[in-house]
Amino acid sequence: MKTIHAGVLDVAYRETGAADAPVVILLHGFPYDLHAYDEVADLLAAAGYRCIVPFLRGYGATRFLDAATPRSGEQAALGADLLALMDALNLPEAVLAGYDWGGRAACVVAALWPERVVGLVSCEPGYNIQDIANGQQPAAPETEARLWYQYYFHGARGLAGLTAHREALCRLLWSQWSPTWRFSEAQFQVTAEAFHNPDFVDVVIHSYRHRFGLVEGDPRYADIEARLAQQPEIAVPSVILSGTNDGVAPPQPETLAVQRFKGPVRRTRIAGVGHNVPQEAPLVFAQAVLDLLKPSKGPDR
């Protein structure tokens, strides 16, 4: 494990592969951690990549540098953290690959700073930038039911529940979101250690309240949020991975999935895989990164 000061954080990360190799940054989501990429990183390192796998803000050994910094979980903060990490590591460009919160961070940087991005791997919904201003209308009841945890976190009861039962709650989400993945208790416990970061609860609660417009964001990221509100297109070469058994973000119609991608994009559905794509299907995820080096033939329909 290494650490580096990057923006407002002291980021803890793992590094695999030769120091002079092309770089891929692998970004985990909620409620997971960098262990989701253990196999993927080994596969990519063997194929000639340098892999950087950080703990996001609020997870594992990553820490805020200043106690006064708001513990924001907003999308602009995640994107700014990723850009700051690239700057701190002196990385002019990299392949960005992620899912859930990590996919959102990768999409933010790909959309707003495309000159820094060789290519993007993003799991369903693919275009993972929140449309906060226009996202307040109720969705279909089945979709709303999948988001129960988000509404739970909006109130004091959810805050107390996550504080008191973070491991049990996160284990439940793993089971609901990846119903065919038979993860072991040992696998879960390795990751669950990351949830005991002192800022985990605050960052998570803020994330799920901010996206619904219930709380203000950190003013330092206001300009980024304003740019994201325009729903900027992603023009870098991209691969979208969709697990057919994803319990929180099932595959969208093709036209909807790719409509904000204006560069080369390919979408792959992965049968029998849920939300945690890199840990459930590491070979497929690693291959998606490698495929970014190949000429794209457009959307995979």
Q: pLDDT tens digits, residue range 102-132? A: 999 999 999 999 999 999 999 999 999 999 9
pLDDT at 207 (0 to 100):
98
Strand pairing category for 63-64 and 23-27 = unpaired
Q: pLDDT tens digits, residue range 155-202? A: 999 999 999 999 999 999 999 999 999 999 999 999 999 999 999 999
pLDDT at 294 (0 to 100):
61
Answer whether 26's CB lies under 8 Å from 38's CB.
no
Does the domain made of 2-291 have the CATH classification 3.40.50.1820? yes
Q: pTM for this structure?
A: 0.96
For the chain, list residues with pLDDT below 70.
Answer: 294-301
pLDDT at 299 (0 to 100):
39
pLDDT at 74 (0 to 100):
98
